[in-house]
Amino acid sequence: MASNDLMKNFILLIFVLLLFSCKKEEKTYSVIYKIIEKSSSSPSYIARYTLPDGSTQSLTSSKEMWISEKIVDYKANSFISLSVEGSGGGEYDMYIYINGTLAKTRPASDGFGAQTLEMQITN
């Protein structure tokens, strides 16, 4: 009888050790930002977007459509944002894609300062 209890305790100990020794990798996310300029005047605009470390990247464009490269290693609960600020009567659609799926979109216009699309990545 004591041998069975010893064996059960040994198996339980092995199970607990395996359970705690397995590191769970934190899930990461990829993000793509996109701006489509819809007016006929093709104004230049400044796009700003959030990087995985929380910093912000800026660029100036006058293209009808600007798409960021796929940016990886965002963590759950990361705050992300995309803003556009134009100078010349522009009309824009802003998009945020998470893991290739459209997560949020909104229209924006010049004349109101920077227009921002923001969200938090959730599990």
Domain ranges, ordered by start, for the chain:
28-120
* R_g of the chain computed on alpha carbons: 24
**Right CATH number for 28-120 from 1.10.4100, 3.30.1120, 3.30.460, 2.60.40?**
2.60.40
Q: Dig out the tokens for 65 from the structure.
A: 């459509």
**pLDDT beyond 70 at 110:** yes
CA dihedral (51, 29, 80, 69) positive or negative: positive
Residue 123's pLDDT is what? 78
pLDDT above 90 coverage of the chain, percent: 63
Do residues 30 and 74 lie in contact, with contact meaning Cβ atoms separated by under 8 Å? yes
pTM for the structure as a whole:
0.79
Do residues 114 and 48 lie in contact, with contact meaning Cβ atoms separated by under 8 Å? yes
Alpha carbon 109 to chain centroid distance?
23
Q: Could you give the CA distance from residue 82 to residue 52 in angstroms, rounded to a whole number?
A: 13
